[in-house]
Chains A and B, each alone.
Chain A
């Protein structure tokens, strides 16, 4: 099956450090990967999209990489802040929908 997996259920880091979240996929090569942020009781909010022919994408303190050899995307938040605490979801694109991973719950400790 075409899985997308986020290895860590939870990640705790100290404020100011860089948080790195991992998304792995198997048995296919997605054309696009998207990353979303979800706060408790809220819908996901789009953060970044990266295409398979892009190695890296940046937006302010966020950076996403896409390694088609390793079948992996890494999501980085630099200079993390307590307000960055949330669940982060990666998703691969299907024909007309997204397939989401289970998410990584990030906690930034002041």
Chain B
């Protein structure tokens, strides 16, 4: 059984650029959630995808968008990057969309915006 993987591991961008982060969910999981974790903070929910449809969104602007593919892998896109977007971006997959299900997190992508 393969765990959740994310790519790239690290990324450096400049303000105003666009970035795409990728996530492969654990085998058998149809739900992927994305979280942003700033230094010293807990993860904050960005959005969730369930069977290729967005199924809930946190308090993030529209320049944060996502996709889920038929194999349940997912992408997070961020446009018009701002300095405050510098954070660890975590992807989590689960067996179903209900929040009480155990979330399996990937190692994260560390994004630095200069």
Interaction A to B? yes
Q: Can you list, as one digit per residue, whether each of A79-110 has a CB less than 8 Å from chain B (1) or not (0)?
A: 00000000001010111111111110000000
Chain A interfacial residues counted at CB < 8 A: 24
Determine whether the beta carbon of B41 is less than 8 Å from that of A44. Answer: no
A6 and B47 alpha carbons, distance in the complex (Å): 24
Q: Is B20 in the interface zone, CB < 8 Å from A?
A: no
Which of A91, A93, A97 has most chain B Cβ within 10 Å?
Answer: A97
Closest chain B residue to A103 by CB distance? Answer: B42
Partner of B100, one of A36, A42, A89, A93: A93
Determine whether the beta carbon of B108 is less than 8 Å from that of A42. Answer: yes
A75 and B67 alpha carbons, distance in the complex (Å): 36
Determine whether the beta carbon of A43 is less than 8 Å from that of B41. Answer: no
Which residues does chain A contribute within 8 Å of B106, judged by CB atoms? 43
Determine whether the beta carbon of B33 is less than 8 Å from that of A102. Answer: no
Partner of A49, one of B41, B58, B100: B100
Which of B43, B45, B48, B58 has most chain A Cβ within 10 Å?
Answer: B43
Q: Closest CB of chain A to B9's CB: distance in Å? A: 9
Chain B interfacial residues counted at CB < 8 A: 28
| Contact A45/B99 with A96-B55, A97-B48, A102-B41 known, Cβ cut-off 8 Å | no
Contacts A49-B100, A93-B99 known; 13 new A-B pairs at CB < 8 A:
A31-B100, A34-B103, A44-B90, A94-B45, A95-B56, A96-B55, A96-B56, A97-B33, A97-B58, A98-B43, A100-B42, A100-B43, A101-B42
User: Can you identify 27 A-B contacts, CB atoms within 8 angstroms?
Assistant: A32-B100, A34-B102, A41-B108, A43-B90, A43-B105, A44-B43, A44-B90, A46-B102, A46-B104, A89-B42, A94-B45, A95-B99, A96-B48, A96-B50, A96-B97, A97-B33, A97-B48, A97-B58, A97-B99, A98-B43, A98-B45, A98-B99, A99-B45, A100-B35, A102-B40, A102-B42, A103-B42
- Mark A residues whose CB is within 8 Å of B: 31-32, 34, 36, 41-46, 49, 89, 91, 93-103
